[in-house]
Every structure is written in C-alpha cells, then in structure tokens.
Amino acid sequence: MADEIDEQVPRGVTVSRRHGAPPWQVDAGELPSLHVVVEGFFRLVHGEQRVLELAPGDVVLVGAGPPGAAPREPRLRCLPPPPGARAPQAELLSARYAGVPAELPGSVVHLPAAEVRRSAGLSAIVNLLRAALADPGAGQEALARSLLPPLLAYTLHCHRRAHAGAGTVDRRIARALQLMQAKPTERWTVAALASAAGLSRAAFARRFLAEQGVPPLRHLTAVRMQRAARRLVESDDSLAAIAAEVGYDSEFAFSRAFKRHTGEAPGAFRRRCRVEGGSFGPPIVCAAA
C-alpha cells in the first residue's frame, strides 16, 4: 500500500539554485517548473509582457494547466530592488517536472509568502531543499531531487486549499494533523493515525494524500525536521535533548535522519545558520544566502 501511494506523487526531473546580484533571468522552459524566491524581486514575463510580480518567500508553478495552456517561453527576470528595499543579492530555487495534474485552472499557480508561511509542511520542504542545495558537495543533488515530489505536492495542496476554503478539510484528517503537531515524539504509524482519525488504514492513507499532498509519515517527518531545525537555531540545547523532543531515541538516530533529509549534520546546520544570521522560524523563506 505504501508503494502504491508513493507512486501517486509526481516526480521531479531537475533542480537548481541560482543566486547573485541582479539583474539576471531564468528561462522557465517547456516542462512545468516550480520556483521559490528565497531573496530578491522577480517578474514572470511572456515575451515582453508582464505576467506576475514575485517577492521574497513567494512560490510560483509555471505550466501547470492543460497541455498548450502555458505561456510560450516564460522567463523569470531578477529585478533590482525597489527604492528602500534591502536586497543586494537574489536567490532562486528552481525545479522542473515531467508533468503535473492537468485539472488545475490556468497555467500559473502563485503562492504569496504569507500563504507559504501558513503551511508548516511547505515551509519545511522549502528549507530542507535550500539546505540541500547550499553545499554543492557529493550527494547533495540526489538529496535535493528527493524533495521535489513533496515540494510540488504541498504547493498544489496549498493552492487548492486557498481556492476551496478551509471548510473543506476533513475533520478526521485535521485530527491526525493536530496529533502529529502536538505529539511529534509519539511512535506514530499509519494504522495508529488512522485509528485516531476514525478511518480504516487504507481509507485514511488515501484521504490524507488527497488532502495534504503527501503520505502521512512523510508529513510527520517534515513536522519533526521543521521543529528540530528551529530548535537547533534558536536554542543551545544539546543534540540529544533535541532528538528526544522530536521523537528520536538517540542522538545518533536523529543526526542520521536530519542529515538524510537536509544534507547537513545537525551541528553543521546550527553553525552555518548562526554564522549567516538566518532564522528557521517564521517568516520561513526570507534569510539571506
């Protein structure tokens, strides 16, 4: 069942990080592409026609509609900052996909920074992706590529939620989400979460994926990694204490899981974020490179 559910999540093709002083531009390309503005100001253009203005923290998915609906040759232009804005450098994370669900309206899905921050899952994935791409060491690209399916899934989920309204969320799935947030140290299984939600395991797994865009335990991992990264940056607690706080039996198990999901050991992540002056808590996608 787990393999069957994972196969329903779209897969990424390529991922890249572009940064530097403006102006510069990135071609969105023929394949559907997803872009995260980490820092700087961007404009999505079609030819010379202005399509969309983007600010730090925004996420945009281009070419998401039915075949032929996307603008031809769309580009993202990195613009000089507005008067008074502090953005001497710009940074853009870009991913390309072999395809995305065709039922989305239009060819551009835009999530403003405020909407991104409202989704703990999407915020966590964006930060994990950025950490994986920050160091071009061996294996980092593979780590980054592994984050592309949940990045797209969370983006599509946030888009649907913003248009459908919060009232459409299944209360039973909401119950499971609350439990994962409130008790990340619990040894949750899909069966245990399904029981707490009052659904069968199979029905819960299908409904959770449909509503949240990722399988239940993948969402739980994102919750744990988000909390762990925040504690690493904002506290002086030991790795063992943080490991216990996010549901790991040992510092070793936590360190291995954290490095697998971010590409960095917890201690290295803590040192880098403090040197750079970044913050892992909200607002999420706004720290300088």
> pLDDT tens, 12-55?
678 888 888 888 888 876 678 899 998 888 888 876 677 788 88
**Burial bucket for residue 186 (CB in 10 Å: 0-12, 13-18, 19+):** middle
- SS3 (DSSP) at 242: helix
Q: Which residues contact 42 (CB under 8 A, 6 or more apart)?
A: 35, 53, 54, 58, 76, 77, 78, 79, 90, 92
* Single-letter code of the amino acid located at 287: A
C-alpha–C-alpha distance, residues 220 and 120, integer Å: 11
User: Do 68 and 52 form a contact (C-beta atoms < 8 A)?
Assistant: no
Domain boundaries of the chain, sorted by first residue? 13-163, 171-276
What is the assigned CATH class of domain 171-276?
A: mainly alpha
Strands, sheet with 24-27, edge to edge from the N-terminal-most edge strand: 24-27, 74-79, 41-46, 49-54
Give residue 280's pLDDT: 43
Predicted pLDDT at 64: 58
pLDDT value at residue 276: 64
- Token pair of 144, please? 């980054």
pLDDT of the residue at 284: 29
pLDDT means per 10 residues, the chain with 289 residues, are 41 81 78 87 77 86 59 74 68 82 63 84 88 76 85 84 59 87 88 91 86 80 84 88 90 87 82 64 28
Q: CB–CB of 205/1 below 8 Å?
A: yes
Fold of 13-163: Jelly Rolls (2.60.120)
Per-residue pLDDT tens digits for 129-145: 888 888 766 677 788 88
**Residue 42: strand pairing partners:** 54, 78
- Among candidate residues 93, 17, 15, 20, the one with its CA nearest the CA of residue 57: 93
Instruction: Tell me how long the chain is.
Output: 289
CA-wise closest residue to 213 among 89, 122, 281, 286: 122
